[in-house]
A and B are shown apart, each in its own frame.
Chain A
Amino acid sequence: MARYLARRLVQAALILVGVTIITFLLTHLVPADPARMVAGRNASLDTVESIRHQLGLDRPLVEQYLRYMGGLLQGDLGRSYIQRIDVAELIAARLPATLALLAGAILCELLIGIPAGLFAATQRGRFADRAIMVAAFSGVSAPQFVVGLLLLYVFAFGLGWFPTRGFNGVDSLVLPAMTLGILGGGWYARMMRSTMVDVLRQDYIRTAWAKGAGGTRVVLVHGLRNGILPIVAMIGLDIGIFMNGVVVVETVFGWPGIGQLAWQAIQRLDVPIIMGVTMVAAVGVVLGNLVADLIAPFVDPRIKLR
């Protein structure tokens, strides 16, 4: 176990180094010029050059990268080109909003997906099963910005139940979390259904039926206990999917999280922020995958960590 963990951590570290290299290359080899962006359209060539020197962009690429990595190892993510604030500070200020959104989204997807999948499995082949599966597929196929706008239109502008923008309190969390949760809920409903269909076919379920236990009791007590664990163990894998949704959802709802920060930084070519957010997101994804893999053997003792 300790050896497995050590190897996985080394792998994770290597993946993160790879992420920094790719992001660095992408943001530094592009035709656009960050120094020009900082200086503004009308700045003289001298000004642009002096800004380029100030930002260290006139040095060889390898030196720039090593300097960045040196700082990163000490927890220094660099400074924003435009706002002249430490990137770590900017991200730290935005992270709570994104984490709240992720927590809300995970809650939503489980609340939608698990009951829907469970019910579909008990109704296998019937109309309700088909209807739920088509709905689940629609959730997976829906563009998130449209879902977000639809929820805003109905529940914020139409019914006035929730605020339309920003992050203050639980009320404001409901609609953005739902937007992300509908996509995840679709996946969970499909996984839950197929797991439960297999579970309900097992001998011990038939035994429970034969003993005369009632339908609901068999499904909920005997079936769900075995069906739900593999599903919950997969939550760690969701982080990658959410990180994609976060940019769109935060834009639609004016949510002050790291997705919005990244989107603004990309438009202004504020490279240190783009690097920083990508790193934070990649760390989240890698940790999520690691947690999912570590949980797996507890859920299913047949899985051995090697």
Chain B
Amino acid sequence: MSRSWQRFFRSGTVLFGLVVIAVTVVVAVFAGVLAPYDYQQQFFDGLSLEGAPLPPGERFWLGTDTLGRDLLSRMMVGAQTSLIVGVVANGVAVTIGTVLGTLAGFLRGWVGTALMRFTDLMMAFPVLILAIALAAIIGPSLWIVAMVIAAVNWVQVARVVYTETTSIAEREFITAIRNLGASDARILARHIVPHLVPTMLVWATLGIATTVLLEATLSFLGIGVQPPQPSWGNIIQESVSYFTTAPWLVFIPGAAILLLALSFNLVGDALRDAMDPTQRGRG
């Protein structure tokens, strides 16, 4: 293992990020088994005598929400939502971005120009207004939200991949291979795409952070994932009007969103450093 990879795994922040991600994945996958209660059940003893939600305590570890449901169980199911949207939306975005970026960078000519002008246009768009308009108009659901996020997030990947592809395509070994008679398809598949794998990995990680935040924001505005399906964003949305009296209902899911996004950012950023040869020997 090279020195940069050793540094990657030894770094405290990377370990922290990997642990948070691993815990979230385990909790999301086994939410059905791990959750102490049914996330939809409204408990009689889940509300105080005055009908207010209960703060974190012995029976309900993270407290209850305004309907007397167990927050911990809802958070666990919400982890599923965040990860599904994060992985699906970002997977689609990275795929679209890579395919378009590679083609535009390799073919150049008017295809490349047209694509890059289109990404310029998308960059000038207020992304959140676009996403909100799309989600609100089409009608929100988990999959629509994922697709909306993918539709606005592929742009950056396409630009990065385009730049890299053009610089690889100009290198001498590509000319050499072409002179040996390799077809365009072969050059793309065997000699260009493998060089793009590090970039794709970095964006696959960093992009999930953006996606998780965007999903939470849309759900908070009430046009993301819809109840009864819990998501960390819509848990906050449901209880935001009571946040001065029941702050845990806002800040516990809020902290979860922050931790998950932070972890993907930390790991993605360290991946970028580890894979970028110009960064070796620096720190």
Residues of A bordering B, CB below 8 Å: 11, 14-16, 18-19, 22-23, 26-27, 30-32, 125, 130, 134, 137-138, 140-146, 149-150, 153, 157, 240, 243-245, 247-248, 251, 262-263, 266-267, 269, 274, 277-278, 281-282, 285-286, 289
* Nearest opposing residue in chain A for B260, CB measure: A141
Interface string of B216-227 (1 = CB under 8 A from A): 110011000000
8 contacts between A and B (CB under 8 A): A138-B262, A143-B216, A146-B254, A146-B257, A157-B244, A244-B129, A248-B128, A289-B124
Contacts of B121 in A (CB 8 A): 15, 18-19, 22
Contacts of B231 in A (CB 8 A): none
Q: Given that A125-B283, A143-B257 are contacting pairs, would A285 and B134 also be in contact in the complex, using a CB cutoff of 8 Å?
A: no
Contact of B217 among A19, A31, A248, A282 (CB under 8 A): A248
B128, A26: Cβ atoms closer than 8 Å: no
B217, A266: Cβ atoms closer than 8 Å: no
Contacts of B130 in A (CB 8 A): 26, 278
B128, A243: Cβ atoms closer than 8 Å: yes
Residue of B121, B127, B244, B251 most packed against chain A (CB within 10 A):
B121
Q: Given that A137-B266, A247-B132, A266-B132 are contacting pairs, would A143 and B261 also be in contact in the complex, using a CB cutoff of 8 Å?
A: yes
Interface string of B245-283 (1 = CB under 8 A from A): 001001100100110011001100100000000000001
Interface size on B, as a range, is 35 or more
Residue of A134, A149, A153, A278 most packed against chain B (CB within 10 A):
A149
Q: Given that A142-B258, A143-B216, A145-B236 are contacting pairs, would A30 and B243 also be in contact in the complex, using a CB cutoff of 8 Å?
A: no
Contacts of B120 in A (CB 8 A): 11, 15
Residues of B bordering A, CB below 8 Å: 12-13, 117-118, 120-121, 123-130, 132-134, 136-139, 209, 213, 216-217, 220-221, 233, 236, 240, 243-244, 247, 250-251, 254, 257-258, 261-262, 265-266, 269, 283
* Nearest opposing residue in chain A for B266, CB measure: A137
Give Cα A30–Cα B220 distance, bound, in whole angstroms. Answer: 23
Contacts of B118 in A (CB 8 A): 18
* Nearest opposing residue in chain A for B131, CB measure: A244
- Expressed in whole angstroms, the minimum distance between the Cβ of A132 and any Cβ of chain B is 12
Q: Given that A141-B209, A262-B129 are contacting pairs, would A146 and B244 also be in contact in the complex, using a CB cutoff of 8 Å?
A: no
Contacts of B257 in A (CB 8 A): 143, 146
A247, B129: Cβ atoms closer than 8 Å: yes
- Expressed in whole angstroms, the minimum distance between the Cβ of A304 and any Cβ of chain B is 19
- Expressed in whole angstroms, the minimum distance between the Cβ of B95 and any Cβ of chain A is 22
Q: Given that A141-B261, A149-B254, A251-B221 are contacting pairs, would A266 and B133 also be in contact in the complex, using a CB cutoff of 8 Å?
A: yes
Contact of A30 among B138, B213, B217 (CB under 8 A): B138
- Given A145-B220, A153-B251, 9 more contacts at CB 8 Å? A30-B137, A31-B138, A140-B265, A141-B213, A145-B216, A240-B126, A274-B129, A278-B126, A282-B124
Contact of B134 among A26, A134, A153 (CB under 8 A): A26
Give Cα A261–Cα B128 distance, bound, in whole angstroms. Answer: 14
A143, B220: Cβ atoms closer than 8 Å: yes
Give Cα A19–Cα B213 distance, bound, in whole angstroms. Answer: 25
Give Cα A153–Cα B258 distance, bound, in whole angstroms. Answer: 17
Contact of B262 among A27, A137, A150, A266 (CB under 8 A): A137
A-B pairs, top 5 by smallest CB distance, nearest first, are A146-B254, A244-B128, A141-B261, A141-B262, A281-B126
Contacts of B139 in A (CB 8 A): 31
Q: Given that A157-B244, A240-B126 are contacting pairs, would A26 and B133 also be in contact in the complex, using a CB cutoff of 8 Å?
A: yes
Contacts of B128 in A (CB 8 A): 243-245, 247-248
Contacts of A143 in B (CB 8 A): 213, 216-217, 220, 233, 254, 257-258, 261
A269, B137: Cβ atoms closer than 8 Å: yes
Contacts of A247 in B (CB 8 A): 128-129, 132, 221
A244, B269: Cβ atoms closer than 8 Å: no
Contacts of A18 in B (CB 8 A): 118, 121
Give Cα A2–Cα B50 distance, bound, in whole angstroms. Answer: 71
B244, A153: Cβ atoms closer than 8 Å: yes
Contact of A130 among B13, B247, B254 (CB under 8 A): B13
